[in-house]
C-alpha cells in the first residue's frame, strides 16, 4: 500500500461520505506513526491507518471513546463516521471531530509543574473510569498494559548491541527492579501512549488526550513514561506525586521507558537524540 495522502483522503470521503465531499482536505502539521491525519473542513479530521495492525484500533476507538468521554475531565476525540476499505485503500478508517489546541510538544512556554499536576490528575480520572467493555491489554495495545517482561528479549538484544556504549549493569538493574513487581489491583484503563504529541493544551492548561489506538485495561505503568521522556526536576516530582501509584508501578514504568529507549537507540532510529536523553534520565532518576 502506498503512503496515505490528502488526495486519497479526499477521494475516500467523496466516495463514502458525499455530504462532506466539498470540504477542503489538508494534512495536519505533525503526523504520527500509526495514522496519517488530515483536516476535513473546519470541524472534522480524517484518520487513515498506515498498516493492518494499526487499523485494528479503528473499531476499538469507535467503541470506547464515547464511553470514556463521559467520565474524563479532559476532552477525547469524538468518532463521527467510519469508512470502509476499498480497492485503493485496504483498511477501515475514521472521521473524527476536530479538537482545537496545541500539543505539549509545540507549546514550550507551558508551566511544566502545572502541566505535571494536571496530567497526573487526568490519568487518575482515566484509571477510575468504569471498565465497561474495555479490552484487556494484549496484541492490540502492543502489550502496553501488560507486564513489561513481554519485551524482555528485546531488552537483552538491545543491551548486547549497545555493549560498551551504555552502562549495561545499571540498565540491567533497572530492568530487574521492574521485573520483580506486578500490578496488585484490578485492571484499570490506560491510554498506552502518553507522549507530548498526544496531549493538547490551550496554551496554558491541559485540555485533551488524543490517539487512543493503544488503549485498553490492565496495568497503568505504561502511562507513566512521560516522567522521563518529557518532565525534568521539580516537574517530574510533581507528576510523580499527582499520578500517585505505588513504588512497584513506578519501577515497571521505569522499565517500560528503558525498553523503548534501548530498542530505538540500538536500532539506530534515534535521529534526534531524544531516546539517548531519555536513557540518561532513566539511569539518573528513579522518580520514586
- What is the rounded distance in angstroms from the CA atom of residue 23 to the CA atom of residue 6? 12
Cα end-to-end span (Å), the chain: 45
Tens-place pLDDT, residues 49-83: 998 989 989 999 999 999 999 999 999 999 999 99
Tens-place pLDDT, residues 10-23: 999 999 999 999 99
264 contacts 243 by C-beta, under 8 angstroms: no
Strand partners, 131: none
- What is the rounded distance in angstroms from the CA atom of residue 35 to the CA atom of residue 210? 12
Q: What nine digits make up the cell of 3?
A: 503512503
What does the pLDDT average to over 107-124? 96
- What is the rounded distance in angstroms from the CA atom of residue 274 to the CA atom of residue 134? 32
Tell me the three state secondary structure of residue 112: helix
- What is the rounded distance in angstroms from the CA atom of residue 140 to the CA atom of residue 158? 24
Sign of CA dihedral 111, 117, 122, 123: positive
pLDDT at 60: 95
pLDDT, averaged across the chain = 95
132 contacts 75 by C-beta, under 8 angstroms: no
Q: Which of 121-125, 150-154, 264-268, 270-274 has the lowest mean pLDDT?
A: 270-274
Tens-place pLDDT, residues 172-217: 999 999 999 999 999 999 999 999 999 999 989 999 999 999 999 9
pLDDT at 268: 85
248 contacts 274 by C-beta, under 8 angstroms: no
Residue 1 clears pLDDT 60, i.e. is over it: no
pLDDT at 108: 84
Tens-place pLDDT, residues 217-257: 999 999 999 999 999 999 999 999 999 999 999 999 999 99
Among left, alpha and beta (phi > 0; psi -120 to 50; other), residue 260 is alpha
> Would the pTM count as exceeding 0.75?
yes
pLDDT at 40: 97
pLDDT at 288: 56
Query: Which residue, among 89, 81, 78, has the nearest Cα to 9 in the 3D structure?
Result: 89
194 contacts 223 by C-beta, under 8 angstroms: yes
Among left, alpha and beta (phi > 0; psi -120 to 50; other), residue 41 is left
- What is the rounded distance in angstroms from the CA atom of residue 38 to the CA atom of residue 245? 37
Amino acid at each position: 500500500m502506498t503512503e496515505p495522502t490528502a488526495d486519497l483522503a479526499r477521494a475516500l470521503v467523496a466516495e463514502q461520505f458525499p455530504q462532506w465531499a466539498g470540504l477542503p482536505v489538508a494534512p495536519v502539521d505533525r503526523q504520527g506513526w500509526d495514522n496519517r491525519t488530515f483536516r476535513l473542513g473546519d470541524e472534522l479530521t480524517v484518520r487513515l491507518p498506515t498498516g493492518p495492525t494499526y487499523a485494528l484500533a479503528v473499531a476499538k476507538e469507535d467503541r470506547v471513546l464515547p464511553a470514556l468521554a463521559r467520565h474524563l475531565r479532559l476532552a477525547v476525540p469524538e468518532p463521527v463516521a467510519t469508512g470502509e476499505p476499498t480497492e485503493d485503500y485496504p483498511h477501515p478508517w475514521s472521521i473524527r471531530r476536530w479538537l482545537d489546541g496545541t500539543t505539549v510538544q509545540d507549546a514550550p512556554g507551558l508551566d511544566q509543574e502545572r502541566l505535571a499536576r494536571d496530567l497526573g490528575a487526568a490519568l487518575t480520572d482515566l484509571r477510575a473510569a468504569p471498565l465497561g467493555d474495555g479490552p484487556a491489554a494484549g496484541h492490540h495495545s502492543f502489550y502496553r498494559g501488560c507486564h513489561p517482561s513481554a519485551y524482555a528479549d528485546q531488552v537483552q538484544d538491545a543491551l548486547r548491541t549497545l555493549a560498551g556504549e551504555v552502562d549495561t549493569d545499571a540498565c540491567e538493574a533497572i530492568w530487574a527492579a521492574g521485573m520483580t513487581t506486578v500490578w496488585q489491583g484490578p485492571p484499570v484503563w490506560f491510554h498506552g501512549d502518553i507522549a507530548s504529541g498526544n496531549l493538547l493544551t490551550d496554551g496554558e492548561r491541559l485540555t485533551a488526550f488524543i490517539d487512543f489506538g493503544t488503549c485498553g485495561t490492565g496495568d497503568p505503568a505504561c502511562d507513566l513514561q512521560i516522567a522521563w521522556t518529557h518532565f525534568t526536576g521539580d516537574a517530574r516530582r510533581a507528576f510523580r506525586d499527582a499520578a500517585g501509584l505505588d513504588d512497584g508501578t513506578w519501577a515497571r514504568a521505569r522499565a517500560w521507558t528503558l525498553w523503548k529507549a534501548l530498542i530505538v537507540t540500538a536500532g539506530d532510529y534515534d535521529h534526534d537524540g531524544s531516546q539517548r536523553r531519555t536513557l540518561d534520565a532513566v539511569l539518573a532518576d528513579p522518580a520514586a
